[in-house]
Amino acid sequence: LIDKLNLEMQVLKNERENESTQLNAISTTLEELGENLKAKAFELEQLESQKHQLHQELQEAAHRYIYLEECFEETDAKLNHVEILLAEKDAQFVAIDNKTKQQMKEIILDAYMLMQSKHKKFPRAARDFAKKISERL
């Protein structure tokens, strides 16, 4: 009976040692998993921080884009206005140029007529043409 009890005690000790070994293995596994979880949580925090930073950079880039787009539209409007003014001034220049050419033709014609009237000795006509030339100049 004592041998049987000793044997049973030995079996119980062995079972207890096996359970203790298993508990130690489970405890070690839990510690490793806890460390892995902490590492993953830290990594997740870093990714969240990076995501937040990238989101801010994206918003800043969007604001810069909108500002540049507005500046471009304003500059484009100014350019269109300047082009319109340039076209108007060009038309005015052409009109002035044509008027000047016409006046030059008239002055040359009057000068020719003045020379002819002096050459043919028409003093009154010469005075009239000289007066016309001086008025036009």
State pLDDT tens for residues 60-96.
999 999 999 999 999 999 999 999 999 999 999 999 9
Two structure tokens written together for 15: 């079972």
Q: Is 123 exposed, middle or buried (0-12, 13-18, 19+ CB in 10 A)?
A: exposed
Question: Running DSSP on this structure, what letter comes out for residue 137?
Answer: -
Note down pLDDT in tens along the chain; length 137 residues: 888 999 999 999 999 999 999 999 999 999 999 999 999 999 999 999 999 999 999 999 999 999 999 999 999 999 999 999 999 999 999 999 999 999 999 989 888 888 888 877 888 888 888 898 888 87
The answer to whether 107 and 136 have CB atoms below 8 angstroms apart is yes
Task: List the structure tokens of 12.
Answer: 């119980």
CA gap 94, 105 in Å, rounded:
16
From residue 132, alpha-carbon distances to 106, 109, 128, 136 in Å are: 9, 11, 6, 6
Average pLDDT, the chain: 94
Q: How many CB atoms lie within 10 A of CB 94?
A: 10
**What's the rounded Cα separation, in Å, for the pair 70 and 78?**
12
pTM: 0.51
- Domains of the chain, by residue range, sit at 2-136
Inter-residue contact 107 to 137 (CB < 8 Å): yes
